[in-house]
Amino acid sequence: MEQALKNFFLFLSKNKALTRAAKKYGLRFGASRFVAGETIDQAIKVIKELNSKGLEVTIDYLGEFVDNEAEAIERTNQSLEAIKAIGKEKLHSQLSLKMTSMGLDLSDELVMKNMRKILNAAKEHNLFVTIDMEDFTRCQKTLDIFRQLKIEYDNVGTVLQAYLYRTERDIEDLNEFEPNLRLVKGAYKESPEVAFPDKKDVDENYKKIIKLHLLNGNFTAIATHDEAIIDYTKKLVKEHNIPNDQFEFQMLYGIRPERQLELVKEGYKMRVYVPFGTDWYGYFMRRLAERPANVAFVLKGVVKK
């Protein structure tokens, strides 16, 4: 049943008609639990509140799979506005983005132009930028562009997914760049030809790549809500005397907020992924796909309305 629900919501996440409807009707039916608002001003209020509790943040203007240059430029400008707002307010926040929203599917020239604009602005405000990883078909291209940008900028990192067979090799191949990587399990529906189909195998590979990247001496963001992975990381860093400033935990806004605060109290760096914007539908569906408990929360919210 759980797998069927996951597949159902992942299927819905790619429905363009529902995406358009979601933009029209706004953050309803529980999405506001996971999305900080539709505007940067709304998101800034959320960041300030999280910072006041000792939580770091990475902010993401939602949007992916743009199909024209004007939309890619608009998404780029929204990211630039977010950078300026974070700098002006002196907030403890980074920026995350998807390169499809910068024009990845349109042209290499466009995406590189937009990424350089963002990284130049981020450098001016002493901000770090993480390039989110998307589905498998865009993985290699994303990493190729990351390599090129890493030569030019020191304030950029990217994401690798534990459910892909290729990830262990990717970590070794990227090691020469001493990259700052966010390691995740992965939230897209992929073929068993490219990804581990069983959760236990994903979990084991996740532990393997966390250990590999940390022991390579590189900064590692462990993005998980899985207590077993959190405990594994704690034991690993203690066993190998890895300092707390070489890694951080990351969780999504609206998921396990109490645990986020507990990790801060335990002395760990905890960063919250805070999305905002009108194009929230695909992101929201993937959150519902990840945990059945999220679906139950949303249904309760609808009943209350």
Query: Rounded distance, CA 118 to CA 225, Å?
Result: 29
Residue 258 tokens read as 């109490």
Whether the Cβ atoms of residue 39 and residue 80 lie closer than 8 Å to each other: no
Catalytic residue list contains 166: no
Q: Is 280 helix (H, G, I), strand (E, B) or coil?
A: coil
Q: Is 60 helix (H, G, I), strand (E, B) or coil?
A: strand
Q: Is 303 exposed, middle or buried (0-12, 13-18, 19+ CB in 10 A)?
A: exposed
Phi/psi region, residue 256 (left: phi>0; alpha: psi -120 to 50; beta: rest), is left
**From the candidates 60, 105, 132, 203, which is the catalytic residue?**
132
Buried b (16+ CB within 10 A) or exposed e, 11-49: ebbeeeeebeebeeeebeebbbbbbbbbebeebbebbee
Catalytic residue list contains 182: yes
Q: Count CB-CB contacts under 10 A for residue 217.
A: 11
End-to-end distance of the chain based on CA atoms, in angstroms?
27
Residue 297 tokens read as 């929360």
Closest residue by Cα to residue 203 from 179, 186, 218, 221: 186
Q: What angle do CA 154, 159, 162 make, to 5 degrees?
A: 145
**From the candidates 182, 271, 286, 287, which is the catalytic residue?**
182
Cα separation values, 103 from 61, 67, 111, 283, Å: 14, 8, 5, 18
Q: In this structure, what DSSP letter does residue 198 have?
A: S
Residues recognised as catalytic = 132, 182
